[in-house]
Amino acid sequence: MAVISNGCTMLVQGYPRGSCLVETSEGAKKMACTATLRHNPDSGHERLIKSLLVSRPEDYLSIYQSGCNHTCLKCHSHEFSKVVTGKWMSASDIANVVSEYLDYVTVFEPKEAATSWHAHRLCNHCGMCVTMGKRPPKCPEKLSPEQIVLSPQGFGPARNIIAFTGGDVLCRPEFYIEAAEKIKEVSNDFHVLLETNGYGLTPKNLEAYSEGGIDAFWLDIKAFTENTYRKLCGTTNQHILSSVERIINHGFTLEVLTLYIPDIVETDEHIQIAELIAETDTGIPTTLLAFFPCYKLLSPDYRPPTVQEMVKSYTAMREVGLENLRMSNFGVFVKTDQDRQYLNEALGSKTI
Ligand code: SF4
Ligand code: SF4
C-alpha cells in the first residue's frame, strides 16, 4: 500500500505548504496528506474517515474526514482533524454507503441548492409533524411528515447531497474526484459538496474539481486580514480570498461561511468579507455564525459574541449588499428574553 509521499502539491504549484501536521498514534507528527490519504493499487485512493451520518441542520450525508491542512485555534473537530483516526475508505467504499443512502433520500434538490444554507427553507428540525402529528407556527410547511426522517442528530429531511467535511486535504484532489465519479455512478441525482477552508482551491485544483464532477463548495472564510488569518489558522489566506470569484466562474454552487469571534474577527473583518463576496455576486448564500469557546480559544479568555455584536455585523454585511445572508448558532448569542426582544426589534422576526 503506497502512502502519498511524493511531496507537497501546493509547493509544486508555487504556494506555501499548509499548516498540515497531524498527530499519529505513535506520537509522531506527519503531514495530513501523508498520514490520512494513501493509494491502494487495487482500490485507488483511500482516505481516513472518522464517521458518516446525516447531519443536522444540513440535512445531507456528511462524511467526516481525518487530517487537515489547517491548524485552526477554534477547530471543533480537532479530535479527528488534527489526530490520525478512523477507517480507510476508498471511493468504492464511499459509493456503497451512498447507495444505501439513496433509499433514504426524501428531498431531491437542484444543484443550485446543494448547500447547507438552503436547508433552512425546508425544515426547522422540531420533529413535531412526526412525533405529535401537528406543526408549530414556524414550520416552513414545505415537507410532508413522510419526508422527515430520524438521524443521530435529530429529525429532518434527507437531501440528495453528499458532503465531505471535518478535516480537509483538498490540496490533493485525487481522492475527492474518484469519490465523485463513484457517487455519480450510484445516481446522477446526487450532488457532491466539499466543505473547505479553501486552502486547496488553487486555479489548477479548481480546474481538476470542475472536470472531476464536484458540484459545490462550502467555503469557510475565517478572517479577511492575512495576519489575523495566520494567527487563527496557521496559513496565508490570499489565494483563499481570490478563490471566491474563480469558484463562481467555474459554475460551482457556492456558499460562504464566516464566524464572529470577539476581539479576533469582528465587524471590520465581516464588512471586508461581504465586499469580497459582493464583488463577485451579491446573491451568494452566506452565513454569519456565532463562535463559542472551544479547542485553543477557551473561556474565560474567549467568549461568544453578544446579540448586539451579531446584529451589528449582520446589518453591516447587509448594507454592503448581500442578499442571501443568514445568522446561525442562535443558541450561542440569544440567551434571554431581552436578547430575543432586541433581535426582534433590530431585524424583525421574519429575518430570524
Ligand atoms: S496536506 Fe496539502 S499543503 Fe500539506 S503537505 Fe500535503 S499537499 Fe502540501
Ligand atoms: S417539517 Fe416537521 S420537523 Fe420540519 S419544522 Fe415542520 S413540523 Fe418540524
Query: Are the C-beta atoms of 195 and 215 separated by less than 8 Å?
Result: no
Q: Say whether pLDDT at 160 is over 70.
A: yes
**Which pLDDT score, from 0 to 100, does residue 2 have?**
52
Query: Are the C-beta atoms of 247 and 217 separated by less than 8 Å?
Result: yes
Per-residue pLDDT of 18-32, as tens digits, reads 999 999 988 899 999
The pTM score is 0.96
Per-residue pLDDT of 260-307, as tens digits, reads 999 999 999 999 999 999 999 999 999 999 999 999 999 999 999 999
Q: What are the grid coordinates assigned to 325, written together?
A: 445572508
Per-residue pLDDT of 57-106, as tens digits, reads 999 999 999 999 999 999 999 999 999 999 999 999 999 999 999 999 99
Q: Which residues contact 8 (CB under 8 A, 6 or more apart)?
A: 17, 31, 33, 171
Structural domains of the chain, with CATH: 221-352 (3.20.20.70)
Place of cell 467555474: 250
User: 212: Cβ below 6 Å to ligand 2?
Assistant: no
Element (H, E) at 319: helix 307-320
What one-character-per-residue DSSP string does 31-81 give? EHHHHSEEEETTTEEEEEEEEEEEETTTTEEEEEEEEES---TT-TTHHHH
Query: Residue 221: how many CB atoms within 10 A of its CB?
Result: 25
| Backbone dihedral region for residue 262 (phi beyond 0: left; psi -120 to 50: alpha; all else: beta) | beta
Report how far apart the first and last C-alpha atoms of the chain are (Å, whole number). Answer: 51
User: 126: Cβ below 6 Å to ligand 2?
Assistant: yes
Query: Residue 244: how many CB atoms within 10 A of its CB?
Result: 23
The Å distance, Cα 234 to ligand 2 centre, comes to: 41
Q: What are the grid coordinates assigned to 219, written together?
A: 467555503
pLDDT band at 109, cuts 50/70/90? very high
Q: What are the grid coordinates assigned to 9, written together?
A: 502539491
Ligand 1-lining residues (CB < 6 angstroms): 8-10, 17-18, 20, 31-33, 69, 169, 171-172
Whose atoms come closest to the Cα of 31: which ligand?
1
Residue 30's Cβ-count burial label (10 Å; 0-12, 13-18, 19+) is: middle
Q: What are the grid coordinates assigned to 198, written together?
A: 479553501
Q: What torsion, rounded to 10 degrees, do the Cα atoms 150, 155, 156, 162 define?
A: -50
- Higher model confidence: residue 7 or residue 259? 259
Whole-number Å distance between alpha carbons of 196 and 166: 9
Shortest-distance Cα residue to atom 1 of ligand 1: 33
Q: Which residues contact 120 (CB under 8 A, 6 or more apart)?
A: 57, 326
pLDDT band at 352, cuts 50/70/90? low
Shortest-distance Cα residue to atom 8 of ligand 2: 126
User: 124: Cβ below 6 Å to ligand 2?
Assistant: yes
Q: What are the grid coordinates assigned to 321, written together?
A: 449588499
User: 123: Cβ below 6 Å to ligand 2?
Assistant: yes
Q: What is the mean pLDDT of residues 172-179?
A: 98
Atom index in ligand 1 nearest the CA of residue 34 equals 6
What one-character-per-residue DSSP string does 128-155 give? HHHHTS---TT----S-GGG-EEETTEE
Atom index in ligand 1 nearest the CA of residue 171 equals 2
Give the dihedral sign, CA 273/279/283/285: negative
Residue 167's Cβ-count burial label (10 Å; 0-12, 13-18, 19+) is: buried
Whose atoms come closest to the Cα of 130: which ligand?
2
The Å distance, Cα 2 to ligand 1 centre, comes to: 16
**Which pLDDT score, from 0 to 100, does residue 51 have?**
98
Whole-number Å distance between alpha carbons of 102 and 97: 9
**Best residue for ligand 2 mutational test, from 130, 131, 142, 148 (most atoms within 8 Å of Cβ):** 148
